[in-house]
Amino acid sequence: MCMSKTKVARMAPGCETESFSPKTSRGRRLLELRQKIIAAGIPLLSPEEIDEESRS
């Protein structure tokens, strides 16, 4: 996985690499937080886990 401050590459099984560049300051901040979480070795939540967390 290759990341910079403004772009993130994501790999999903059976999919090609996608690039994402946030357009807003909030998007850039969220990307920065995501990169810190990944660098710390914390696994990201699946969409189902996110739904479950938001219902709590």
Domain residue spans in the chain?
Answer: 8-55
Q: Are 28 and 22 in contact (CB under 8 A)?
A: yes
Q: What does the alpha-carbon distance between residue 31 and residue 25 come to, in Å, rounded to a whole number?
A: 10
pLDDT computed for residue 18 by the predictor: 58
Mean pLDDT of the chain, nearest integer: 78
Question: Which residue has 């850039």 as its token pair?
Answer: 28
Q: Is the pLDDT of residue 22 over 50?
A: yes
Strand pairing class (8-10; 18-20)? antiparallel
Task: Encode pLDDT of 37-55 as tens digits.
Answer: 999 999 999 999 999 999 9
In 3D space, the residue among 15, 47, 25, 28 whose CA is nearest the CA of residue 3 turns out to be 28
Q: Is the pLDDT of residue 5 over 60?
A: no
